[in-house]
A and B are shown apart, each in its own frame.
Chain A
Amino acid sequence: MFPGMSQHGRYWLLILPAVALMLVFYIYPLLQVLWISVTEPEPGLGNYRELFTSAFLHKIWWTTARICVITTVLTVLFGYVVAFAMAHVRQRHMTAIMFCVLLTFWLSVLVRAFAWVMLLRTEGVINEALLWIGLTDQPLRLSRNEFGVVVGMVHFMLPLAILPIYANLRGIDASYVSAARGMGASAWKAFWWVYLPLSKPGVIAATILVFVFSLGFFITPAILGGGRVVMISEFIRVAFEETLLWGKATMLSASLLFCVLLILAIVGRVVDLRRVFGST
């Protein structure tokens, strides 16, 4: 097609439109965001100083971190259980489970958040059931607080954990476990010492995916948090749209980005990220 061009050069040509698109619509605006964060309202690092001085920012960073960690731990735990089941049941059952997992994946995040509101609200199904059984004598506050946010987020994130873990578990040769068992390990020991370490790449991939996604979460906290659970992304929205303090908004966006890069860098020192994300 392009004589004289090396094999490699032609492959690059194929992704050129995508690269150009990314440069114009992603990299350039991103740089602009970074630029605003050090130029508005005045040039310098004044916006970033607020990260250290503003008690309110400390609080919402802490809220964000807390919710993200709890969400990630629960999601990976539950995701592992589901993925484990999927990897070990018969094909027909696996297909059914996979269908259910993907079904929730495809549902709009808004629909899911509102569905949880209906279930968790004071006069919702769960509270009515608890009252009827007599477990509580007054309705519990299940939504419009951090509990509700975590429930909604874990539900949203589950497919993101299940899929990479499942892909990893599928690749584990069952004969390792058989060998361990054959040499006298109990089922639990075989799992703990043999199977679990082998599934580490899947668990790490799921953890990174879920945590990074959680950091920027926006809709679910807004709906299930009832306005009281303010995470960093909500604060960015207000700074962009309502108070028009763009310097602050972009500084926080940039900080989120640095956070993600930092996490990847730290994780990258411990494990081989290329292996985790399956490029080798």
Chain B
Amino acid sequence: MSEAAGKDLTGRPYKIEIQDVSFDYVDRRTCFTALQHINLNIREGEFICILGSSGCGKSTLLSLLSGLNRAKEGRILVNGEEIKGPGIDRAVVFQQYSLFPWQTVKENVLFGIKQSGKKYSRKEREELALQYVESVGLLNAKDRYPSQLSGGMKQRVAVARALALQSDVLLLDEPFGAIDPKLRLELQELVSKLCVEHKKTVVFITHDIDEAILLGDRIVVMEPGRIRTILKVRLDHPRVREELIRTAEYEKLHRQLIAAFYDQVEENIDTEVAL
């Protein structure tokens, strides 16, 4: 089922369109509405950060994007086609590493390459896997098993495996939530760099305001079940944290996000819904 994708103001088609999506978790007695009528359009190559506190439905939204859950109402289009389930056009990095424990770092990445559906010879696959392993800085650890890696290293492998799938879209579900702050900064810069390099369209779930400003082109702030506001980040890539925090734009965004995040009413938040 292919249909014309919606277009942005400059006439380029959207990469991802979330159209009037609702989702609720139903079990025998209760019905919990996780998302209500979400609308969001994402352009090719955009880095979207979805910011919200826990329980606001941001992870649910990502599970719908990945296809692990189906929307109860509305639909999600990727490249103009409605998604029907998980697919190799969208790579996912989970919060809990989710590496295959029986495979080494290199083998985990190789798995991604094999699943990408592209035709490579055995030798090409091996070389490509090593390239991805190197790009996340783990060449020394390529033959180690996940149980022998620290949390930060595991998440690097998960990123390499997601890149190896060679999809246009990359979805990350609070990938650095469980990693200590110093390592997190390294990983954020790495992901930012790699996503620009590989021209990925990214949806990045986070509850960390600084992380959202550092990485995002736009920041979607969620409140339970709904999008509260969308803020554009007018800062050039690559962003370096130390320089970033001294800019006026950072100050302003940070203030606005805090206000939105902690549900304080503040005037002149320039809202840009569905830009």
Q: Are these two chains actual partners, yes or no?
A: no
Residue ranges of B at the interface with A (Cβ–Cβ < 8 Å): none
Residue ranges of A at the interface with B (Cβ–Cβ < 8 Å): none
